[in-house]
Structures are given as C-alpha cells and as structure tokens.
A and B are shown apart, each in its own frame.
Chain A
Amino acid sequence: MSFEEFQNCARLYVIGALEPEELQDFEAARKQYGSAAEDFINQCYGLHEAFALSLKPAKASNAIKDKLMSMVRERGQGQSGPRSA
C-alpha cells in the first residue's frame, strides 16, 4: 500500500468507516510507515473536530450542568478526582 493509499484509509479509519477486510492491510501499512503513520492518524482525528465545529451549537441546559457539577463535587468528596476513578 502506498502512503497516499494509506492516507485515504486512515481518514476512513478514524471515522470508523473502514471495512473489516480493509483493516488488515491498513494495520500492516501502519506498521510499515511507523511514526509517520501514527502522526498522520492523529492529524486525521482533527476531522472529528471539523464535523463538530461545522454544526451550529445547541442550547445546553443549565439544569444539566448543575446536576453534573453536583455529581462531580459529591464524588470529589470521597475521591481525589478522576485519576482515582
């Protein structure tokens, strides 16, 4: 697999659209291209950011935030934070 083909596969991979039979070749190429492959895959995750940023933000409820923060603070009393979760 050429690096260009690998790049095409990587973009499909990060959105979960690579078919099972394509995964084996992709993983082999990933190993072959080493850190260049890993760097490219990490950059491809930026696609997720792009899709999210293209959406108009929705109104998030204050009640949800209050409930969330209450759960987090309550949990924090007994634990030192997410590291110990």
Chain B
Amino acid sequence: MTSAVDREPGAPSDVDLMLGIQSGDADALSQLYDRYSGIMKALILRIIHNETEADDLLQEVFMEIWNQAKNFSAEKGKPLGWMVTLTRRRAIDALRKKQAYARAEERLQAEPERQPLAWVENATEKDIEAGDTRVLMAKVINSLPEAQQQVIELAFFRGMSQREIAFHTNIPLGTVKTRLELGLKKIYDGLKELRDEL
C-alpha cells in the first residue's frame, strides 16, 4: 500500500511527495494537500467540532508538515501515519487550549447521530464489495462492541486518559483498560489483515 487513498496511475507515492517536500518542492505539498486534506479535515472536525477552527487548523497542520518534513523518516512509518499523528496532536492541543471541552460536549450531545458509533458513514455493502479502504477500515472499527468503541472514541478523538474516561463514563478504571486493550487489538489485527490483502 504505497498510498492510503486512490491515486492516478503514475502519480507520485506519498513517500515521493514527502521527499519532494523535504527538498523544498512546494508542488509536492500542493499534491499532498489535494490527496489528504479531506481526511485531515475530517479528523480535525471530529476532534474540535467547529468548521472555521478546523479550516484554520488544517492550514496550520500543512504548514507544519512543510516545516517539519525533515523529521519524517520512511523507515519509521508511512507518511499518512506521521501526518495523522501530527494532526491529532495539534487538534487535541487546540481543543484543550481553548478550553472547548464544554462547548464541544454540547455539540456532541446535539448531534447524537454522529456519536459515538457513527464512524462508518454511508457504508453500504456495495462500498464494502468495492474494497474502498475507508469503508473496510470503518467496518473493522464498527464491528467492535459498542462499549469498546466508546472508550476508544474518548481516548483517540478526545485525547482522554484511562482515568479521565473512567471518570467521564463512570466505568471502573480496570474495565476501561480492558476495553481499550481489546478494542485496539482488534483494530490493529484488522489493519494488519487489510494491509496483507492490499
């Protein structure tokens, strides 16, 4: 899997684009933006739930990709993993700095259909048969028991520690840990299987 999303035949791989950015090629950044800005924005929106702030943060994230590209090493992982790690960290930092937990919570409660389980949107059997990576990945996540999805949602998309999750959900700390471990293992195994197939 040289790229996590579909790309035109002959288009540069993600690693090629990162190497281009490392050598100061702005067009490489432009192509990377076209390829991944939708995914990055979805991730940011998932964390901060505000369209305007998400746009601002998206711009900051790609600027950071440009500035920090020298720290990327293909030996240590894939470009998308590196970008998602960076994006998630920035979004969670922004959420904390603005003390927006309360506001985000209100929005979350106002949008129950998106929380906490709607990680698969528009996932039809047809999409799954078509082998779309997003839908396949979402299918893995959605196959988890609700209780496991809930704790993973809070840990990954809201940056909560096990203790914070236990406090937030009123679930014993040991149960939170077990659910996180089981859920993450299933997702990890699903991801591995998906990669082996591709």
List the B residue with the shortest CB-CB distance to A7.
B185
Main secondary structure of the interface of A (DSSP, over half): helix
Known: A11-B185, A65-B33. A55 touches B39 (CB 8 A): yes
Q: Does B13 contact A (CB under 8 A)?
A: no
In angstroms, how far is the closest chain B Cβ from the Cβ of A23? Answer: 11
Interface residues of B in 55-107 (CB under 8 A from A): 55, 58-59, 62-63, 66-70, 76-78, 80-82, 84-85, 87-88
| One of A45, A53, A60, A71 near B77 (C-beta < 8 A) | A45
Known: A16-B159, A68-B33. A50 touches B191 (CB 8 A): yes
Residues of chain A lying within 8 A (CB to CB) of residue B84: 48-49, 51-52
Residues of chain A lying within 8 A (CB to CB) of residue B25: 81
Q: Is the CB of B122 within 8 A of A56?
A: yes
Q: Is the CB of A82 within 8 A of B21?
A: yes
Q: Is the CB of A76 within 8 A of B133?
A: no
| One of B21, B43, B187 near A52 (C-beta < 8 A) | B43
Q: Is the CB of B4 within 8 A of A49?
A: yes
List the B residue with the shortest CB-CB distance to A65.
B33
Residues of chain A lying within 8 A (CB to CB) of residue B82: 45
| One of A11, A17, A60, A65 near B162 (C-beta < 8 A) | A17
| One of B33, B45, B141 near A50 (C-beta < 8 A) | B141
Give the B-binding residues of A (Cβ under 8 A): 7-8, 11-12, 15-17, 19, 42-61, 64-65, 67-69, 71-73, 76, 79-83, 85
Beyond A12-B155, A53-B133, list 14 extra A-B contacts (CB 8 Å): A8-B185, A11-B181, A11-B188, A12-B177, A46-B77, A46-B78, A48-B84, A52-B87, A54-B120, A54-B137, A60-B33, A73-B26, A76-B24, A79-B24
Give the A-binding residues of B (Cβ under 8 A): 4, 21-26, 29-30, 33-34, 37-43, 45-46, 54-55, 58-59, 62-63, 66-70, 76-78, 80-82, 84-85, 87-88, 119-122, 133-134, 137-138, 140-141, 155-157, 159-163, 177, 180-181, 184-185, 187-188, 190-192, 195
Nearest 5 CB-CB pairings of A with B: A81-B24, A57-B38, A60-B37, A54-B138, A55-B42
